[in-house]
Structure 1
Amino acid sequence: MFAFQYNTSKIEYNLIKSKRKTISISVDSKGNVLVKAPLRLSDEKVLELIKNKSSWIEEKLLLVQDTIGQQQERQYKNGETFYYLGNEYVLKIIEDTVKKRLSVNIYDDKLVVTIPTSKADFIHEGIGNETIIKLAIIKWYKQMAKVKILERVNSYENLFAKKRGPVIVKEQKKRWGSCSQDGTLRFNWRIIMAPEYIIDYIVVHELCHLKYMNHAREFWNLVESILPDYKIRKEWLKKNGIMLEL
């Protein structure tokens, strides 16, 4: 971790050097500053170039802080709102005396969690209703994500000569998706909260790594050939990614 002072702010950044030709600076939805630079550039020269972008970095960091400030911790109670495929749903909790298993479904504009009145199968020492409901919603999100993401992968994979490996939907703290050398595709289950056109962008992005395991110009040209408006989708994810949290 590197840092420098700009006005009254201390700006910290992570530096990654590789066999690239240009320097890039990005600020993610959590306020992490990442700098990618060519191996030939000294740390001092990198810092000089970063300082030239200080105003832009500070502006992005302030925007992230505003977004985080507006985001409130979700409550797992009636009336709370949740996102699914870019649409907002109001949580409705129903206690059922007949059902023996907890269930999560969408009805109209409601995310309905039906919970057995006895909750006998779910009660553990120290775990309350809100925790039970949260775990149930997360489990449901993961199930829906596996179905939707595989559907979108199947929709685009025929555009690529190289065959993909397995599709894995899992918990990923820092990535929306990844593609390994053997073609295994991994996706963050949280993207099920985003609009489908954003899911498509993430899926196409990772499929393009089957051909280019980097983010060189050729890679982005390939993405653009499939999704001409990919820059709009990419920008949406940068601005709104922090909202895809629970």
Structure 2
Amino acid sequence: MPLLQYGQTTIEWHFQIDTKLKRHYVTVERGQPVLLRGPQVSEAEQEALILQRARWIREKLAQVNQPQVNEAIVTGSRLRYAGRTYYTEVRHTPDLASPMLTFTASRFVIDSPEGVSIQPGALIPLLDNFYRERAQEKLPARVRHWERQTGLQSQGARIRHFQSRWASCDARNVLEFHPRVMELPANVVDYIIVHELCHTVEKNHTRAFWALVAQHLPRWRRQHEILERAAFGDAV
């Protein structure tokens, strides 16, 4: 699918011909490429249409790809990390200016100045920061490990938000990971890393690409199936 870089946001879109429409419409859904519908136009014209709405698309993507937290979090709620859900304790800490989230290896602890519950709007940035910090701490070392194991070399790893994917290998062979890969089990994260390392050699999902993945991870299909079932960006 075509891509458009708009500032720090990569917009991936799918074009759907709809001859019943007289103009073009853009739809943004959680975990999906942007949908552009309307009369037949060239890819260059599609890109121009996406660019016209890029600022709006960026704002909508930021909203819909937030973790789905529909209810207030209270003591006893569970939050996801490393393939497991962990008990969460919410403490009323009135001296704080803003809520804080910590992880104690066995539970999440949220200190909130508002009371013994925390609303989704306040929780989401705390989770995002937690996943980002853990990703920055752990992923580069795992990338180096798999570079040694496979002999494949990247140009480094960085953390960034994507529209509808867990990770990517850019044209310069820099590996990029959505911070929420830290929700996933360690063996699935390893599969994602090997998958992207294989893209340093084979840029597309060709037969040669999947043969290379299988060479380094013979049982890759099991992790791939887990990843396919995972709800992208679903944190709770």
TM-score band, normalised by shorter chain: 0.5 to 0.7
- Separation in 2, partners of 1:245, 1:186: 19
Q: Does 1:156 align with 2:146?
A: yes
Q: How many Å apart are 1:217 and its aligned residue?
A: 1.4
* Distance (Å, rounded) in 2 between the aligned partners of 1:163 and 1:193: 25
SS in 1 for 2:163: coil
Structure 1 stretches of 4+ with a deviation exceeding 6 A read 98-101
Residue 139 of structure 1 corresponds to 129
| Aligned equivalent of 2:206 | 216
Amino acid at match of 1:215: H
Counterpart contact for 2:94–2:114, Cα < 8 Å: yes
Q: Given the two structures, how large is their TM-score scaled by the length of structure 2?
A: 0.63
Partner amino acid for 2:201? K
Aligned AA (2:129): K
Partner Cα separation in structure 2 for residue 73 and residue 101 of structure 1: 21
Query: Please, which of 79, 82, 85 is the counterpart of residue 82 of structure 1?
Result: 79
The residue aligned with 1:188 is 178
SS of residue in 1 equivalent to 2:73 = coil
- The corresponding residue for 1:42 is none
Alpha carbons 1:88, 1:109 under 8 Å: kept: no
The alpha carbon displacement at 1:234 in A equals: 0.5
What CA distance in whole angstroms lies between the structure 2 residues aligned with 1:114 and 1:72?
Answer: 18
Are 2:103 and 1:106 equivalent residues in the alignment? yes
Greater alpha carbon shift after TM alignment, 153-162 vs 92-101: 92-101
Closer/same/farther in 2, CA of residues 213 and 108 from structure 1, 3 Å limit: closer
- With a CA cutoff of 8 Å and minimum separation of 6, indicate the structure with the bigger relative contact order: 2
For the 8 Å contact 1:191–1:244, the answer to whether it is kept is no
Q: CA RMSD in A?
A: 3.2
1:158: Cα distance to partner?
Answer: 1.9
* Map of 2:36 onto structure 1: none
Larger Rg: 1
Say yes or no: does 1:94 pair with 2:91.
yes
> How many equivalent pairs are there?
176
Q: Is the 8 Å Cα contact of residues 76 and 134 (structure 1) preserved in structure 2? A: no
Structure 2 runs not aligned, ≥5 long: 1-14, 19-29, 34-67
Identical columns (%): 23
Q: 1:227 to 1:162 in 2, by over 3 A?
A: closer
User: Which of 179, 182, 185 is matched with 2:169 structurally?
Assistant: 179
